[in-house]
Structure 1
Amino acid sequence: MRKFQIFLEWQNIAKNGLTLNPPKDLPNPDAFTLNNFSRSWYWFFNDTIQSDKGSERTWSKIYIDALLTIVSFNASHLKRPYVNESLAVYAATKMYNIKGQEGAIVGSQAPWAEVYCLANGAKHVTTIEYQKYIITHPQMDFLYAHDLPLISKNIEHSGLGRYGDPIDPIGDIREMNKIHCLLKNKGLLFLSFPVGIDTVVYNAHRIYGRIRLAMMFEGFKLLKIFYSQNIVSEEHMFQVFNNASLADHYLFVLEKIG
């Protein structure tokens, strides 16, 4: 019954359609800031895709195999964004032994996460994106995100309209609820986003602090926290929640419960 309710609520939000022109000002500030328990900053983007004609990129088998060769020598030599966050993906998927498993990467401008997963033994990886890709590697495939309303590009962006998603104050929490429904029991979720003091940076992203982070983790058990290739203590995270200078991308390894 709960699963039905989750998807019914999302369907009602999705009826509003894609957001082609995100509002310049934060709509419904009280809802987005949890009645001012979250800060509100402004950093506006319009990265909606107006047309996908001629936008396809190709990730060939030769290209992916070349990246795998680089990782086989040194994972840190792979060209990637968010240097510390990226290495956290490699370290976490290696520690939690994804050999022989199939998984999905949600949101991918370059295939660094896919390559790290394959390097750590993943059997098959599906890339889910708003921009179309042609992928010819036999251990990879592509799904167009517009055809998959159950999955968002990056959770910290969900509901802000930056990438054309419907405006929704709890869009990120809905995505976590849907992921919880889709994962098998004890399935793993490797989740990375900015962590610090609770902030809505409209419409760029959210920063997750002690309030919203707890809401995001409902139905999951926290196993480990990574920063780059290092495991981070929960005590360190309490410092992050109180010190804006420590805000950064952290990766959480979560296990589905219930």
Structure 2
Amino acid sequence: MIANRANTPALFPRIFPLLVVVGVLVFVFTVYTNSGSSKYLDRVSSRLKYPINGTGFSKQLIDYDLHDYNVKTYKGYVNMYELNEKVFKLYGYEIEKPTLPVPTLRMINEPTCELVFSEWLRVSQEPQPKNPPKYIPSGESDAFLLFGYAAVESWYMNDKNSYFGEKPKNWDKLSEMITWPKEKLAEIAYVTESVSVYNAMASHRLDGMSGVVIGSAEKILTVEYNRLTIQEEFRDRMSSILPVDFVQNWHTYADKFDFAASFSSIEHSGLGRYGDPMDPIGDLREMLKIKCILKKGGLLFLGFPLGTDAIQYNVHRIYGPIRLAMMFYGFEWLSTFSGGLENAFDLNSQRLHSNVKFGMHQYTMVLKKL
């Protein structure tokens, strides 16, 4: 039987009000969700950037399509366009050139040295817990973990005022140690890996130069959280200073040093293990400080764990191409040295990621301030 269409109520007019209501609800929900997500990213991102000085602007890449360049992460390969939008810009950087294995970045709003040191001092004065937190603070995961592009696993140590924690040692044996061969020096810490510093400095002669050691040549200044006792005969060439005193007197050291050296130090900055302030960009702050105190063309000998981007919280960071790109800002990467080879080698993507997740190498990279 065929129904009489003329007497059948029209379906669309009956459900039209319902469709309107549903449509409005979907629209409101979408706007609310996107707005909430945007506000969250803005809130987290604002903590990772320096205050705007009025000169920052984003620059459009014309010569490159970032979709064509991929970087390895623990999630797999990710194109540089995605990383540029979802990581680098949120930290205040952007890709200037899609180099491999590490992209070349620029800072959208580069801070002055005055701001770099004042911000470090501000963060250092924030209240800190009695013991280093065992977990990344609530709401801070994205800031610490590259917005989801760095892996994380738990490995906790408390070296804040710990009797068994790592402390400076052997400073009372300098006169003896300078006679040791590099193999014996390597036995003090990191064995073969620490020889990479020796090999790097042997290839880039430092005769007559002044330098600064972060964390642990004619004159050497060591920036160290613990007070050091230096043998009398070396005090005309070697001295130490606490980080807070160094920052408060930074003008004294601006553009002063021919070279800087840091091995197994900066990767800990901001993770709280040593009682330092929790700071997701603590290591990036250290690099900007070093940039401020080096002369133009000055060298930085830099060693820390290398692999695929990750944090073994709270022990250290492992540096892959994403975080390395931000660490290298303002420097030219000249060469890389291992402890097993006297000459530099090519640290390509395959070698950088040759270990499993959370696996790492500890090499010394030589950077030149631009």
Tell me the TM-score normalized by structure 1: 0.81
Aligned residues of 2:121 and 2:244 also touching (Cα < 8 A): no
Partner of 1:174: 285
SS in 2 for 1:98: coil
Alignment of 1:76 with 2:186, yes or no, is: no
- The runs of 5 or more residues in structure 2 that have no matched partner are 1-52, 54-110, 251-261
- Gaps of at least 5 residues in structure 1 are 109-121
Match of 2:123 among 13, 19, 33: 13
The alpha-carbon deviation at position 255 of structure 1 amounts to: 0.3
Equivalent residue for 2:360? 247
What residue is the counterpart of 1:94 in the other structure? 202
CA deviations 1:212-247 (Å, max 9, x no partner) are: 111100000001001115222032x44322532762
Contact 2:334–2:367 (Cα < 8 Å) also in 1 = yes
Please tell me whether the aligned partners of residues 215 and 266 of structure 2 are also in contact (alpha carbons under 8 angstroms). Answer: no
**Change in 2 beyond 3 A, CA 1:17/1:96:** farther
CA deviation string 1:81-113 (max 9, x = no partner): 1122211111111111001112122223xxxxx
* Equivalent residue, structure 2, for 1:144: 242
Distance 1:47 1:145 in 2: 17
Deviation of 1:19 after TM superposition, in Å, equals 5.2
Question: After the TM superposition, which residues 4-83 of structure 1 pair with which residues of structure 2 at under 5 Å, given as runs?
Answer: 4-17=114-127, 20-27=130-137, 28-49=140-161, 59-60=171-172, 63-71=173-181, 75-78=182-185, 79-83=187-191
What number of residue pairs does the alignment pair up? 235
* Structure 1 counterpart of 2:220, from 110, 113, 125: 125
Report the CA distance shift for 1:176/1:240 in structure 2 as closer, same or farther (over 3 A). Answer: same
Rg larger in structure: 2
SS of 1:162's equivalent? coil
Partner SS state of residue 184, structure 1:
strand
AA matched with 2:177: L
Residues 141 and 10 of structure 1, relative CA distance in 2, 3 Å threshold: closer
> How far apart are residue 13 of structure 1 and its match?
1.7
Matched-pair contact (CA < 8 Å) for 1:188–1:256: yes
Spell out, residue by residue over 1:199-219, the C-alpha distance to the aligned partner (whole angstroms, 9 max, x if none): 011110000001111110000
SS in 1 for 2:147: coil
Q: 1:21 to 1:68 in 2, by over 3 A?
A: same
Q: Which residue number in structure 1 is paired with residue 82 of structure 2?
A: none
TM-fit CA distance, 1:15:
2.8
User: What amino acid maps onto 1:132 in structure 2?
Assistant: R
Q: Alignment partner of 1:77: what SS?
A: helix
Report the Cα offset of residue 129 of structure 1. Answer: 1.8
RMSD: 2.6
d(CA) in 2 for partners of 1:32 and 1:100?
40
Give 1:30 shift: 1.2
The percent of aligned pairs where both chains have the same amino acid is 40
Distance verdict in 2 for CA 1:85–1:160, change over 3 Å: same
Aligned residue for 2:229, secondary structure, equals strand
Q: Secondary structure at the match of 2:220?
A: strand
1:22-66 CA-partner distances (Å, limit 9, x unpaired): 111112111111111000111111111389xxx996734xx3222
Query: Do the aligned residues in 2 keep the contact of 1:58 with 1:134 (CA within 8 Å)?
Result: no
1:171 deviates by: 0.8
Runs of 4+ in 1 over 6 A off after TM superposition: 55-58, 150-153
**Separation (CA, whole Å) in 1 of partners of 2:272 and 2:212:** 23
- 1:242 and 1:69 map into 2 onto residues whose CA distance is 36
Matched, 1:159 2:270: yes
What is the distance in 1 between the residues matched to 2:162 and 2:180? 35
Following superposition, the deviation at residue 149 of structure 1 comes to 4.4
Deviations 1:156-207 (CA, angstroms, capped at 9, x unpaired):
0011011111111111111111111111101110000000010011110000
Structure showing greater relative contact order (alpha-carbon pairs closer than 8 Å, 6 or more residues apart)? 1
